[in-house]
Amino acid sequence: MREPAATVGVLALQGDVLEHEAAFDDVGVRTRRVRRPSDLEGIDGLVLPGGESTTLSMLLESSGLFAPVAGGLAAGLAVFGTCAGMILLARRVVDGRPDQRTFGVLDCTVRRNGYGPQRNSFEGGADPASDDLEPALGALPAVFIRAPKVITVGPDVEVLATGGADGAGEPPAPVVLRQGRVLAATFHPELTPDRRLHRLFAAMARPRAAQAGR
């Protein structure tokens, strides 16, 4: 029997929504824009795209989405945060704004704009540290735009890839993390043609009925 297809919601308050939609289209996953609480009904996963985490935090509140998204995450909704979206998932944020809220479902500490002014934006690579990121395909191209830097990772968090600025002389930092049904990348996988992270999230967001039947 064919499995029911997943629908992934893409938070569409700000940020690179179109690029995530195109990436999921590439891997055969239907998407829906999430702008208000009713848009969350029936989705199997949610993407929190890049943008500006302080603005996203405010817009999540004013749209009435913060509480229902937090409730969905507590109930096991799969979530994928990229860049600012990762900050929204982190339990601890250094150099954030005092009024900025996060969902706190990813046990890590991130430093906002953690790569410093000289490397505001750069392209580098992310080396897979897990078979789930298909290491045979090599490093993932990684575009960092005022990216957060992961500075601590809790014991229940898997580091799926490490990386950073090529040739910048810094030790590689964790750049892709997973904790249960939470996936996060400090860079922007939707801006390059490599679809490994979207494929992985599509597998994490399989409809619950199909997962129960496995």
| Distance from the Cα of residue 75 to its chain's centroid | 18
The correct pick among 51, 124, 128, 163 for binding ligand GLN (CB under 6 A) is 51
Give the interface segment with ligand GLN, choosing from 38-46, 59-67, 82-90, 189-197 (CB under 6 A). Answer: 82-90
Nearest to 69 by CA among 143, 141, 13, 152: 13
Q: Which of 31, 34, 39, 50 binds ligand GLN (CB under 6 A)?
A: 50
CA gap 180, 31 in Å, rounded:
22
State the sign of the Cα–Cα–Cα–Cα dihedral 32, 34, 35, 40.
positive
Q: Half-sphere exposure of 1 toward its Cβ, with a 13 Å CA cutoff? A: 6
Cβ closest to ligand GLN, residue 145 vs residue 210: 145
Please identify which residue in 32, 33, 35, 146 interacts with ligand GLN, judged by CB under 6 A: 146
Task: Pick the stretch among 32-40, 79-87, 153-161, 196-204 that binds ligand GLN (CB under 6 A).
Answer: 79-87
Q: What share of the chain is helix, strand, coil (3-state, %, to 5)?
A: 30, 30, 40
Stretch that binds ligand GLN, among 20-28, 51-59, 65-73, 152-160 (CB under 6 A): 51-59
Q: Which is nearer to ligand GLN, 104 or 207 (CB)?
A: 104
108 labelled catalytic: no
Catalytic: 61?
no
Is residue 21 part of the annotated active site? The answer reads: no
Sort strands 30-34 and 45-48 into parallel, antiparallel or unpaired: unpaired
Phi-psi region of 134 (alpha: psi -120 to 50; beta: other; left: phi over 0): left
Interface with ligand GLN in residues 88-127 (CB under 6 A): 112-113
Q: Which is nearer to ligand GLN, 87 or 161 (CB)?
A: 87
Residue pointed to by tokens 């590439």: 26
- Positions annotated as catalytic residues are 83, 188, 190
Residues in contact with ligand GLN by CB under 6 A are 50-53, 83-84, 87, 112-113, 145-146
